[in-house]
Amino acid sequence: MTTIDSARQIGDRFYQSRLDEASVLDQRYVLVRADNATLHLLDGDGGSHRCIDFMSAYAAVNFGHRNPEIERALARSSDLTGLFHGPAAETVARWLCNQLPEPDSRRVLYQVGGSFAVAAALALARRTRLGRVMSIDGGFHGLGVDTAALTTVQRRFSLHDTGFADLLAPEVIHLTPGIVPRDWNGVSCLIYEPVQGANGYVPLDRGWLEEVTASAASAGVVTVADEIQCGFFRHGVFSPSAAWGLDPDIVLFSKSLTNGMYPLSAVVYKRFLEAGADPMYLAHTFQTGTLGPAAAYEVTRYIDDHDVAGMGAAVGARLKELADRLEAADLARAVYTIGPALSFEPTVVSSGELVRRAFADGALVFSGGRHGERIRIAPPLTIPDAQLVEGIEVVWSAAGGATARSENRVQPS
């Protein structure tokens, strides 16, 4: 039975759980195929729907769906054993370290998924320096019980928000942006997203972040940059923390590390964090599935072989034009254009209504913010310009700009 036949026969009697974010739409859809920035979907009745992916699969496919240069990883062997990594894992680890300051002082610990990466970073930090964990208000660091305790946005949407994570509250400090603590005693580590993803692609103030991380470091507090969503050129640079000169002790990557092919994550830490009298190990049966390092290797090759920063700049310029139009027409507030990503709070329609309108007209955007009040737009860097313009016009219309004069429309180059 093909995927298409399966979707038509299932109808609306899906056996998949509705406890996922597909429920924000009016009905369930099946992804039949994807190509670069285009999604081909079927609804429960077998009806087809074409859609432009303006969320890059939660910033996982920054380099386009089924990128042929990255899909070469599927032709690799699947040799897997305990104790040993294949050569791709070491090559990717060296590449990741070389993107950050003082690469020879760093090491890479692979994990599966972002929540595990955050948990491993906290463990490294607390083994080095006992104390509480400080996170930034507005941050989102995962769905595990431990990582959820650090999170202050969209907790109410989480299946894991049952109160169990609140038991860890005495071990967590939520720092208000703009405040620099005078006393770091009793603090093990400071974790932050340079651009807060789930909060609606809201960048932290760079000057304040420089000051607070320098203060933490001078006190011996371990600093952790969570770049699981904002890294890999999602906002125009490979690593925002590195680009801003912050030099964190640990940098976390995931999602687009494999361009969405496998939920591999990388904990890139300074070597002093593994020092100690007792040996320590972190191993899981399926910790390093073979597809992860193979896909990550092809992603590194793609980045080295292409001007991805330039690609991001071109997308960012288009999104900046849309941002200016929305603000000029009073259709949006709290607007941020950070490289090839745009976020705003719509003023005429709710964020949920904008998502539904845009999806109906062929563009998939997603919400964000403390209560889901913001809109996030993040196309693949590889999106053709004409398709990018098409999607921009869909968003413009969905935000309430359908009656704007035709001369205000963006023209493809």
d(CA 169, CA 332) in angstroms, rounded, equals 35
Same domain, 294 and 150: yes
Report how many domains make up the chain: 2
Q: Which residues make Cβ contacts (< 8 Å) with residue 281, sequence separation at least 6?
A: none
Shared-domain flag, residues 241 and 333 = no
Q: What pLDDT is recorded for position 406?
A: 40
Whether 180 maps to a domain, the answer reads yes
Q: Is residue 113 part of a domain?
A: yes
In-domain check, residue 413: no
Q: What pLDDT, on a 0 to 100 scale, did the predictor assign at position 135? A: 97
Q: Which of 305, 320, 353 is the last residue of a domain?
A: 305
CATH of the domain at 298: 3.40.640.10
| 8-state DSSP, 113 | S
Three-state SS string over 208-232 comes to: HHHHHHHHHHHCCCEEEEECCCCCC
Q: Say which amino acid occupies 394.
A: V
- Burial label for 17, CB within 10 Å (0-12, 13-18, 19+), is exposed
Cα(121)–Cα(307) distance, integer angstroms? 31
pLDDT digit string, tens, across residues 113-154: 899 999 999 999 999 999 999 999 999 998 888 888 899 887
Question: Domain check: are 290 and 313 in the same one?
Answer: no
pTM of the predicted model as reported, rounded to 2 decimal places: 0.93
Same domain assignment for residues 203 and 289: yes
Of the candidates 142, 139, 136, which has an alpha carbon nearest to the alpha carbon of residue 111?
Answer: 142
State the DSSP H helix or E strand holding residue 41, giving kind and residue range, or none if neither. Answer: strand 38-43
Among 193-207, 278-292, 307-321, where is mean pLDDT lowest? 278-292
Given this model, what pLDDT does residue 404 score? 45
Angle at 151 between CA 155 and CA 351, to 5 degrees: 50
Give the closest residue to 142 by CA, choosing from 224, 78, 45: 224
The CATH number of residue 23's host domain is 3.90.1150.10
Domain presence at residue 51 = yes
* 283/156 same-domain check: yes
Query: Does residue 397 share a domain with residue 299?
Result: no
End residue of a domain, out of 305, 338, 356 = 305
Percentage of the chain beyond pLDDT 90 is 73
Residue 355 — left, alpha, or beta (φ > 0 → left; ψ -120 to 50 → alpha)? Answer: alpha
pLDDT given at position 85:
84
Which among 256, 276, 305 is the end of a domain? 305
289 and 140 within one domain:
yes
Least confident among 44-53, 70-79, 153-162, 198-207: 153-162
* pLDDT of residue 1 exceeding 60: no
Determine how β-strand 48-53 pairs with β-strand 38-43.
Answer: antiparallel
Residue closest to 37 by CA, chosen among 355, 276, 379, 411: 379
Q: What is the mean pLDDT of residues 369-396?
A: 97
Residue 19: CB atoms within 10 A of its CB come to 8
Task: Please indicate, yes or no, whether residues 18 and 108 belong to a single structural domain of this protein.
Answer: no
CA dist 167 to 43, 161, 175, 291, 394, Å?
Answer: 41, 11, 19, 36, 44
Q: Are residues 198 and 167 in the same domain?
A: yes
Q: Tell me: do 285 and 384 sit in the same domain.
A: no
| pLDDT tens-place string over residues 260-302 | 999 999 999 999 998 865 777 776 665 667 899 999 999 999 9
In terms of domains, do 401 and 277 share one? no
Residues 278, 334 within the same domain: no
In a domain, 239, yes or no: yes
Q: Where are the alpha helices (DSSP H) in 32-85?
A: 56-59
Q: Which domain holds residue 354?
A: 3-66+307-408
First to last CA, the chain: 43
Confidence category of residue 94, pLDDT binned at 50, 70, 90: very high
